[in-house]
Structure 1
Amino acid sequence: MSRAPAGAVVTGAGRGLGALIAGALVERGHRVLVTDLDAEAARATAAALGPEAGWAAVDVRDEAQVTAARDRVLAEAGRLDVWVNNAGVLATGPAWEQPPDVRRLMIEVNALGTVNGTVAAIGAMRETGGHIVNVVSLAGLTAVPGEAVYAASKHAALGFSLSTLADLRLAGIKGVDISCVCPDGIWTPMLHDKLDDPASALSFSGKLLRPEEVVAAVRGVLDRPRPVTAVPRRRGLQVRLADALPSLGLRALPLAVARGRRVQRRMLARRRSG
């Protein structure tokens, strides 16, 4: 008698990176619940992935909705093996220029959403084991001009993840892993609309990642759990150095921002001419 596929949940999976991660989990033999605030997007992605994918409209800020998604997977698959907190919101500009509701949205989706998903997953995994993957950002490792509140939310997500992993180990719970994947700028719809936004320049100053490269990193940590994985690794080393020497890092930021603006202008010109 064959065993039913183990359950998995991906938040923010209606499109872009989340949809690709959900597809990778289906390929790995999981029954995946595709969740997204946009119900139609979640439905369409699940339909494209086939019979091993279901869908649910979930606002990650709402603990009850997150818990309901977990309980549905437990009811349908019997156990929860993987939970990926991918849902995220990015708005740019100095914090003092952003409306309060925009600041709150980023903090709640990016930080509280990660807390809600992680806590819900741990509730299902404590006895059976499992793996939580939190898609954070290089913005969670260093200063990011133009994205201060976003960076704050990602620093919070990273600090929460590592502290919770420490709590699990201190409690003697060794079967639950938490891995943070921290990518540089990803060429997804989140950045498509930022080409003419100077406040987003730093996101364009490194190598713009293809979503598939981040999916590969997620696959990698599922095979070999790691508390923090920067993508690409060299960029991760650079931002960690800047964070270790903040005065030096702050002096170098104008150069990085200028490089990002050049990339933005070049890409914008290609888009207009094409």
Structure 2
Amino acid sequence: MNHQLKPVSDQVIVITGASSGIGLATALAAARQGARLVLAARNGSALADAERRVREAGGEAVHIVADVGRRSDLEAVAQAALERFGGFDTWVNNAGVSIWGKLVDVSDEDHRKLFETNFWGVVYGSTIAVEHLRQRGGALVNVGSVASDMALPIQGMYAASKHAVKGFTDALRMELEADGAPVSVTLVKPTSIDTPFPRHARNYTGQEAKLPPPVYPPEEVARAILHAAAHPARDIYVGGAAKMMASMQKHAPGTMDWIGANVMVGQQLRDEPVGDPHGALHHAGQDGAVRGDQPGHVMGSSAYTRASLHPIVGAALFSAAGIAAAAWLSAGRQRH
């Protein structure tokens, strides 16, 4: 279906998880383009500060405290958008949290809470948004992960939740297409992003968490989200590493299993004791920051993602990426 989406400057955009990280970066980027925003998260003081920063950046905003794991909270977010702005044009399901720890060590309660946020939060937000967008058209943007396509050791349930988000998002897209609904549905799949995400995670390992390299800035995810708000897209990988790893998972799953078992665990842990093992799984965290404190190098941007958002340049890039992936896979098989 040929979806007609408004420019970001003419839109009202709802963003969950807007008090830090990707959500806050997206809100500020949208504000600079003149969008009106509805910001949702659990931390009221951080949301109030985010609203102030949006106004300073040239946008207009309203915030509402909400836990995405409760449908009634997200219904209140949609109602706030209707009352303040008369509706919304794009809904971004961004809120998410993780757990660092082996699956057998993590409590059922913590696993269940992660799914309430990462999966059911997307389900509630999507179904509420679609009910509204069917009438006026617009975009639904769900933030998945490269973990939607592959598994991660010591973040196993996080990966499972992102697999579930992918399955739900793909099925919803097909159903909307079958109904002829004027709603674009995009799944954004970032790789490691420098946000407070590791500090917000529940941590069973005894060591501070970090993200496996390469790591990209949150502004690159914001760019992808806002592109999807104005230009229909099925999937957008953020970071060339995300596309590369997804391709390896598809074509050489055994090699990826070996990498996961022998490399990925160490790449996700710092050599220092964990400060707050509870994180923000069950309650609001210390929000307000776009960037995290990832050790090591953080990429300035993603040439792959920026090119992928441009059809002509992207086609050439995909061809080159395919050749590079084939060479990497060949080398990986030889090592394995």
TM-score, normalised to structure 2's length? 0.71
8 Å CA contact 2:16, 2:39 repeated in 1: yes
The answer as to whether partners of 2:190 and 2:242 remain within 8 angstroms in 1 is no
Q: 1:222 to 1:269 in 2, by over 3 A?
A: closer
Asked if 2 retains the 8 angstrom alpha-carbon contact of 1:141 and 1:239, the reply is yes
1:250 is matched with 257
Alignment of 1:1-274 (within 5 A): 6-50=11-55, 52-173=60-181, 175-192=182-199, 203-204=211-212, 206-257=213-264, 260=267, 264=270
SS of 2:89's equivalent? Answer: strand
CA contact (8 A) 1:180 1:228 kept: yes
Task: In structure 1, give the amino acid aligned to 2:143.
Answer: V
**Cα 1:136–1:46 shift into 2, 3 Å:** same
- Please say if residues 39 and 62 of structure 2, whose CA atoms lie closer than 8 Å, have aligned partners that are also in contact: yes
Distance in 2 (CA, whole Å) between partners of 1:268 and 1:110 is 22
Contact 1:7 1:77 in 2 (8 A): yes
| CA offset digits 1:212-264 (Å, max 9, x no partner) | 12112223323432221111134323223214443332123234326726x94
Return closer, same or farther for 1:146/1:26 CA change in 2, 3 Å cut-off: same
Secondary structure of the residue that 2:81 maps to in structure 1? Answer: helix
Distance 1:255 1:220 in 2: 37
How far 1:269 sits from its partner (Å)?
Answer: 8.2
Answer whether contact 1:145 1:199 (CA < 8 A) is retained: no
The answer to which structure has the higher helix fraction is 1
Q: Cα distance, 1:11 vs. partner?
A: 0.4
Residue 146 of structure 1 contacts residue 200 of structure 1 at CA under 8 Å; is this kept in 2?
A: no
Structure 2: 5+ residue stretches without partners: 1-8, 273-292, 297-336
Aligned counterparts of 1:11 and 1:197: Cα–Cα separation in 2: 30
Q: Within 2, Cα distance between the matches of 1:252 and 1:166?
A: 34
Matches of 1:231 and 1:268, distance apart in 2: 17
Q: 1:121 to 1:258 in 2, by over 3 A?
A: closer
Query: Please, which runs of 5 or more residues in structure 1 have no aligned partner?
Result: none
Alpha-carbon displacement from aligned partner over 1:136-173 (angstroms, at most 9, x marks no partner): 11111101111111111111111111110011001111
Is the CA contact 1:143–1:243 (under 8 Å) kept in the aligned structure 2?
Answer: no
Task: Give the 3-state SS of the residue equivalent to 1:127 in structure 2.
Answer: helix
TM-score by length of 1: 0.86
What is the distance in 1 between the residues matched to 2:104 and 2:208?
13
SS at match of 1:221: helix
Q: Name the CA distance, whole Å, in 2 between partners of 1:24 and 1:249.
A: 35
Residues paired across the two proteins, number: 263
